[in-house]
Amino acid sequence: MRKRVYSSLADSTYKTTSVLSATAPDADNTESHEFPQAEIHNLVGTTELCCSAGLVDLNYIASVLPNSFYDRQRFAAITIRIADPMCTALLFTSGKLVLTGSRSWCQCLLASLHIARLLTAHSRGVTFTVCDTSVQNIVGNAVIALREGECLDLQAMYDALGSVCTWQPNMFPGLVLRPDKSPVVLLCFYSGKIVITGGKKETDIYDGWANLWPTVHRFIRQQPPGGRKRSKTAPAMQLPKE
């Protein structure tokens, strides 16, 4: 699988690559379907917690902190769950905190501050402070409003954009579209559902999807007679007869 390099829209103006522009639909065709808005539903962030005692005693934290779980034999971090903002965090002995479930950087920061206050309140003579919070990945989704009898033709997309696509339908039904110089990667499904991932800023999700929508729209087709179009597979190997 080709390794993707993150490219921010702020660093350079995104331009459709030659591979994608060759398959872009006409303007009249694009207007035939309403642009599906992207929504962010998960953010993965990391926070550096500074502990006044140096390393964090995870065994002690697990014994006094509610809504936490720690099994050293299975994983090196303690799992902490909070309800407001709703978030799940992994805390390591170094003070590194990995947070999932937030929907924005602000929620991620608030969750980090809340966990730092909880740790300080339940630790005797030890204080925890938030040193830095950064975003590692943002995941969003969009749903194309397909009309009756329509589908997203993944086979045609793979045939046209094979150099920037990964698709193994026998293992997973989704097609991965990772264009060069794009801040996001798309996971496309036959039903018209799109998962947008790889962004590090909220604008990456919204603007990255808006830039790739004309390319994706070209492959909205009528379903073939008899249902879903089957993917091309290699013929089965024939064993020699004895």
236 located within any domain: no
Alpha-carbon gap, residue 72 to 13, rounded angstroms: 47
Q: What are the tens digits of pLDDT across the range 5-44?
A: 666 665 544 454 445 655 544 434 444 788 999 999 999 9
> Is-above-0.75 flag for pTM?
yes
Tell me the backbone φ, ψ of residue 61, rounded to 5 degrees. Answer: -60, -40
- Examine the domain organization and report whether 178 and 199 are in the same domain: yes
Do residues 26 and 80 share a domain? no
pLDDT tens, position by position, 105-147: 999 999 999 999 999 999 888 999 999 999 999 999 999 999 8
In sequence order, what DSSP letters do the residues of 66-94 get, joined into one string? SSEE--TTT-SSEEEEEETTEEEEEE-TT
| Number of folded domains that form the chain | 2
Q: Are residues 32 and 63 in the same domain?
A: no
Q: Say whether both 104 and 169 belong to one domain.
A: no
235 found inside a domain: no
Q: Is residue 23 part of a domain?
A: yes
The answer to the question of residue 128 being in a domain is yes
Q: What domain range includes position 67?
A: 43-136
3-state secondary structure of 4: coil
CATH of the domain at 168: 3.30.310.10
